[in-house]
Amino acid sequence: MAPASLLDVRHDGTELKAIGAGSWTAENADALEKLVSDAAREHASAGHGQIDLSQVDRMDTFGALLLERLRRSWSDGGVEPRIVGLKRRYNVLIQEMSRMGHEPHPAVRRRERLLEGVGHNVIDIGHDAKLLLNFVGASMAAGLR
């Protein structure tokens, strides 16, 4: 069972504070996801935000993804949160999560478009061959009557 204090959100004047604690891993997925979803809606009148992770013992990709979801939802609501107290070993994980979703989609390469056209032509040829065989079969059946 996950502890109830995985994430606590408080308003301190114009600052919104989220304090994370415990294990932000897949083991606590259900409880943590609900807490982050609730905290994501708490950006109403805050001007500044802070996410304190100094009490987080463990974090995996799931926890980093939820942290990024919270950070982005607050940013979209006009609150630019600072992440403080993050253990150094999680810096790379958090950096990768923050980059996620910002890369442009790669352009379709000419070679792939060429192969797609060839594939469509092969399907059309197969369809035409089926119609031709149907015509030949119908002609032979009519001729044998």
Residue 80's domain spans which residues?
A: 7-99
Sequential pLDDT tens for the chain (145 residues)? 445 589 998 887 778 899 999 999 999 989 999 998 888 887 655 678 899 999 999 999 999 999 999 988 888 888 888 999 999 999 998 888 888 766 666 676 677 777 888 899 999 999 999 999 999 999 998 888 8
Residues 43 and 94 in one domain: yes
Residues 123 and 55 in one domain: no
Residues 28 and 83 in one domain: yes
Residues 91 and 114 in one domain: no
CB atoms within 10 A of CB 49: 24
Residues 71 and 87 in one domain: yes
Is 17 exposed, middle or buried, given 0-12, 13-18 or 19+ CB atoms closer than 10 A?
middle
Measured CA to CA, the distance from residue 10 to residue 36 in angstroms comes to 13
Residues 37 and 15 in one domain: yes
Residues 117 and 90 in one domain: no
User: Is 63 domain-assigned?
Assistant: yes
Number of domains the chain is built from: 2
User: Is 1 domain-assigned?
Assistant: no
Alpha-carbon torsion (50, 31, 66, 42), positive or negative: negative
User: What CATH number does residue 55 fall under?
Assistant: 3.30.750.24
Would the pTM count as exceeding 0.85? no
Measured CA to CA, the distance from residue 81 to residue 36 in angstroms comes to 14
User: Is 2 domain-assigned?
Assistant: no
CB atoms within 10 A of CB 9: 19
Residues 73 and 131 in one domain: no
User: Is 136 domain-assigned?
Assistant: yes
Residues 113 and 79 in one domain: no
* Residue 136, phi then psi, degrees to nearest 5: -65, -45
